[in-house]
Structure 1
Amino acid sequence: MSNRRSFLKLGAGIAAGGLSASMPALAAREGTQHWDEEVDVLVIGSGFAGLSAALNAQRQGLGKVLVLEKMQVIGGNSAINGGWFAVPKNPIQLAQGISDDSPAELVKDQMISGRGMANEAMLTQIAEHALDAYHMCEDAGVEFRKNFNIQVGGHNKARAIRSKHGTGGDYTTKLYEAGAREGIEYRLQHYIEDFIRVGDEVQGVVVRRGYRFPDQKTGELIRIKANKAVICASGGFTRNMALRAAVDPSLDPTLDGTNHLGATGEVMLSAMAHGALPVHLDMIQTGHWGSPDEGGFGWSVALLSISWHEGMAVSVLDGKRFMNERADRLTCSTAIMKNRYPDGTPAYPLVFFNHDDHPGDDRVMRALRDEMAWKVDSLEEMAEKFNVPLAQLKLSVKEHNENVKKRIDPLFGRKMDTAQILKAPFVVSRVWPKVHYCMGGLKTDLDGRVLDGRTMTPIKKLYAAGEVTGGVHGRARLSSTSCLECLTMGIIVSKTIKADA
């Protein structure tokens, strides 16, 4: 079972004949394996989930903890995310006088967003550990924006805090440093070739040490035994284009992605090849805050966090509003992608807010500098630059301003508490969704044990946390809840391993 099984070949097998056609025989192997090294807990991946799981495993006294990262830097996708973190009853929220929030309120919002497919018990457990994760980050030295706690799309309360610099790197750097101080070993450029499973137990992994992405011929193969646990925290697969197309043919293949190029899902596929149960692989989320004027994650998520609250979105086709700017990601992405020219090409909608309301704001300055947004001095200039019908654009802005005064949105039911009366000059950007997050992955029980698809019971010593797992959020994940899930499941999985060991 430790022979090389390319994840690309497995992905092709899935596309051609379904999962069962790709699965190897899983008979127990006799005899003693040869091991090059032994550890107690092996963590695959160094994003939020992996760093949290490693740190908490170390603090649980589980023995030697080793983190393997296939890329050349620590952090994975987590390092480049927007730094948003949903925490009911966080200190900033309470200081703002918001006392009626709770984990149950957050879960209620997530169940609505999940469209009937979310796991309420799992979401409840995650939400109830939110403050634990917050304090873990704070104790590690993560700094949060002073007095910053807002209501983001799909949430019914202001409960989203944000790291000081607005990046996930604020978390990953400090969690890594905390782990290093406490004796955790981290190794870069270690690619997981395969799991070694004997009977109903995963005993270790085959690793390509010295791997240089994306050349799978680089490095040398070694075997590492994990005496107590292998934790999969390897993230999603949005950059595996063949797998994306296989599991969701409806997803526009031309869409850019926010994830780093190494988000290819081979750890998940290897676990599946050893019997791990996959769920919801076709539920791939787009981020409605993407910009067609920059590649990857970019600055758009930061800039549009202003636009959705204070400004408005209009179609270049007719100059009209077309959605509730503060709805959840799936609702907004669906509405945005309906804006197309007769030949089917994207008609990138415009999103804008008041320039002078944000003097010196780094989000604005970066976006203007890199030309993913522009300053325009009038609606006339905006209409000419982006070929928008001027008369209707003016009417749309007039209606918006009237709605702001009344604090109502009769067209789409948007909450108007943060909306501003629009007046030139404006910061305007174009918007188009990007593939962002995989809701599907390995099925686990509530405590993070990976389930065997044949028996529906846990595979011994195999655990998973974060985006590599599936069946948690359902059809759509709310903003600021990935950081929450990954950090809290790292706490939960470490407790599970201690109990099992």
Structure 2
Amino acid sequence: MSDRRSFLKMTASLAAGGLAVGLPVQASETKPIKWDEQVDLLVIGSGFAGQSVALNATRAGINVTVLEKMQVIGGNSAINGGWFAVPKNPVQLAQGIHDDSPAELVKDQMIAARGMGNEAMLTRLAEHALPAYNMCIDAGVQFKKDFNIQVGGHNKARAVRVEAGTGGGIVTKLCEAGKREGVDYRLQHKVEDFIMDGDEILGVVVRKGYRFPDESTGHLVNIRARKGVVLASGGFTRNMKLRAIVDPSLDPTLDCTNHLGATGEATLAAMAHGALPVHMNMIQTGHWGSPDEGGFGWSNALLSIGWHKGIAVNPTTGKRIMDERADRLTCSKAIMACRHSDNSPAYPLVFFNKNDHLGDGRVTRAVRDEMAWEVDSLEEMAKKFNVPLKDLKATVTQWNQYVAKREDPDFNRKMDTAVELKPPFVVSRVWPKVHYCMGGLKTDLDGRVINSQSLAPMKKLYAAGEVTGGVHGYARLSSCACLEGLAMGFIIPKAVQADNA
């Protein structure tokens, strides 16, 4: 399986939701591999993980080439909500919160993981949160001024957010820094297969000039990676066939927040060469999705107000359905339990006080795009969304009593940000969207991909970010995807150096 013995190459493709996966076949032992190009470290994917690995590896003296199959950089990272969990961040300290730590964050993550999280890995990631934050600051990333809040499932306010409201504010600045420091970025380079020598990766087969989703575009080249290959290619939530195989319970009608290219072909190619997959059936939904807009949209931004300042009610009963500040899995289950008698979705309503957020861009944008509405009274809300008025009024009255007492006996919600509800209101509808793959390739604590037969690390093959599995268990907490991807960028370059010493 090398240029000395045999060459695994593309001979067939499997149509799976628009992606092609190479099936390895033995080639002639006397036929050498024809390398079209040789580089040092190849990074596949240009989101949080790929950008951080590329920049930190370059700073460690490693020449880095980044391959991105799409026409633009960033992947899902560019369109995510821009939330970043950073214990001990400067804004948190300025707010007087001095009892947070990486260990506190990991404690919250392990609770959300329902016993399935990797505590050792989560600890390593949390310990690199502040260095990752400082890397962003040094690269020119703009975070919201004086902004640090507590998001779902966290016991402390530790989440900062990008000023622009999307992760694109991070990936673009890291890419600019990478270009200044010598990282070679290549768009429209789709990895078709890996070239292996046993369990050591030698290089990749790449479709150069690929135009997603047309598999006939571009041409194949073989690129050797002398120091290794880092998979930072994201998840597979847009691969409907694979989703149905690994989790047939997942409602196929659910919308998805991910970009169309999140199809997982690099993950499947690695599996074909012996990489061990874990937790593939753990696919997370974003409980802040809106049925009134497609894809990721603005609902995440709007609901950062709604979950803290407002309540969520079932339109068929007018009653609250959950702790609005719980983790994603808890909230998604509560939301999807809201059904009409014919089992069709009864989209829960989330509403908060309009006058408390006059001029807030999150509100004006949502109202403009008609995924939220302004109503002058509970009567208007009940009529517009066909909610039992008497029950809705009773719910709000009861809620306001809870606010006054600072306790929620119904769902044990933390009430520090809760406010008395009074008209006029901003109201939106919510329904979960497929959002994140907790499953993927198993790695060791340094990011080395584990072989499914030997259960030992494969040689010179690394993975970071959503392409990996077994980190977060059943539920990833909000603001931790950014943390994971950026933090691994500090860990993997050290492993690459050690493995090539």
Instruction: Report the equivalent of 1:374.
Output: 373
Instruction: Report the equivalent of 1:223.
Output: 222
SS of aligned partner of 1:393: helix
Instruction: Report the equivalent of 1:310.
Output: 309
Comparing 370-379 with 26-35, greater Cα deviation is found at 26-35
CA distance in 2, matches of 1:259, 1:399: 38
Letter in 1 for 2:47: G
Superposition deviation, residue 25 in structure 1: 6.7
* Pairing of 1:322-361 with structure 2 (within 5 A): 322-361=321-360
Instruction: Report the equivalent of 1:485.
Output: 484
- TM-score norm. by structure 2 comes to 0.96
SS of aligned partner of 2:263: coil
1:43 and 2:50 matched: no
SS of aligned partner of 2:185: strand
Superposition deviation, residue 96 in structure 1: 0.4
SS of aligned partner of 1:493: helix
Letter in 2 for 1:253: P
Letter in 1 for 2:268: L
Instruction: Report the equivalent of 2:13.
Output: 6
Superposition deviation, residue 182 in structure 1: 0.3
- Distance verdict in 2 for CA 1:10–1:259, change over 3 Å: closer
CA distance in 1, matches of 2:170, 2:78: 8
Instruction: Report the equivalent of 1:19.
Output: none
Superposition deviation, residue 13 in structure 1: 12
- Distance verdict in 2 for CA 1:42–1:349, change over 3 Å: same
CA distance in 1, matches of 2:314, 2:114: 27
Superposition deviation, residue 359 in structure 1: 1.4
- Distance verdict in 2 for CA 1:31–1:382, change over 3 Å: same
Letter in 1 for 2:217: T
Does the 8 Å CA contact 1:409/1:416 hold for their aligned counterparts?
yes
Does the 8 Å CA contact 2:292/2:371 hold for their aligned counterparts?
yes
Superposition deviation, residue 499 in structure 1: 1.3
Does the 8 Å CA contact 2:44/2:67 hold for their aligned counterparts?
yes
Instruction: Report the equivalent of 2:100.
Output: 101
- Distance verdict in 2 for CA 1:12–1:88, change over 3 Å: closer
- Distance verdict in 2 for CA 1:178–1:466, change over 3 Å: same
Superposition deviation, residue 58 in structure 1: 0.5
Instruction: Report the equivalent of 1:466.
Output: 465
Letter in 1 for 2:133: Y
Does the 8 Å CA contact 1:87/1:134 hold for their aligned counterparts?
yes
Instruction: Report the equivalent of 1:252.
Output: 251
SS of aligned partner of 1:221: strand
Q: Which runs of 5+ in 1 are unaligned?
A: 15-21
Instruction: Report the equivalent of 1:17.
Output: none
Does the 8 Å CA contact 1:10/1:269 hold for their aligned counterparts?
no
CA distance in 2, matches of 1:150, 1:368: 24
Superposition deviation, residue 165 in structure 1: 1.3
Instruction: Report the equivalent of 1:383.
Output: 382
- Distance verdict in 2 for CA 1:154–1:174, change over 3 Å: same
Superposition deviation, residue 200 in structure 1: 2.2
1:419 and 2:426 matched: no
* Pairing of 1:206-245 with structure 2 (within 5 A): 206-245=205-244
CA distance in 2, matches of 1:322, 1:135: 39
Does the 8 Å CA contact 1:5/1:193 hold for their aligned counterparts?
no
- Distance verdict in 2 for CA 1:492–1:399, change over 3 Å: same
Superposition deviation, residue 5 in structure 1: 4.7
RMSD between superposed Cα atoms in Å: 1.7
Does the 8 Å CA contact 2:10/2:23 hold for their aligned counterparts?
no
Letter in 1 for 2:130: L
1:58 and 2:65 matched: no
Number of aligned pairs? 493
Instruction: Report the equivalent of 1:33.
Output: 33
Instruction: Report the equivalent of 1:445.
Output: 444
